[in-house]
Amino acid sequence: MKISDLKPNPGAAKRKKRAARGPGSGLGKTAGRGHKGQKSRSGGLKDPRRFEGGRSTLIMRLPKRGMRGQVPGAIKRPEYQTVNVARLAERFPEGGEVTPELMARAGLIRKADGLVKVLGHGEVEVALKVSAHAFSKSAAAKLAAAGGEALTIGAAAGEEA
């Protein structure tokens, strides 16, 4: 046996299709694309993930959501950082005065210069004099019951929550 005697198995070696190379190729004239229509043209198929045959796409039919407050004249509500009285009692067991700066240092809030609201979840037994921008009614009541105070920052002098 010689190298020249070697041949591929029958059906293994197929010739490449050569479209639009004359009638003898079997793919002459329309090159296997049929007659007319979107699929016969070059660049003919639209993206099937988005194109819906000419009707308005799903993305365009759904209502727009999100981006609140970006519209000119939209009312912006204040965004508070919240702290529960139970967490204040845990971090400040000796009592005393608690300010947003101390809360930030203790890791209860992220930014000391942001708005802080104290919520009433949990129990507090220590007398804490807490300064914050807002208090829930239950938080103010719990602080007062423990012998502490709820001082609202930005309120008129002497005014409490």
What is the CATH number assigned to the segment(s) 83-152?
3.100.10.10
Residues 22-68: pLDDT tens digits? 998 889 999 999 999 888 888 878 888 888 888 998 888 888 877 66
Predicted pLDDT of residue 70? 63
Q: Where are the beta strands (DSSP E) in 30-114?
A: 80-84, 96-98
Tokens (6 digits) for 134: 């807002």
Predicted pLDDT of residue 67? 66
Cβ pair 34, 40 in contact under 8 A: yes
Determine the Cα–Cα distance for residues 97 and 88; give it in Å rounded to an integer.
Answer: 11
The DSSP code for 113 is T
pLDDT band at 126 (very low <50, low <70, confident <90, very high): very high
Q: What are the structural domain ranges in the chain? A: 83-152
> Which one-letter amino acid corresponds to residue 8?
P
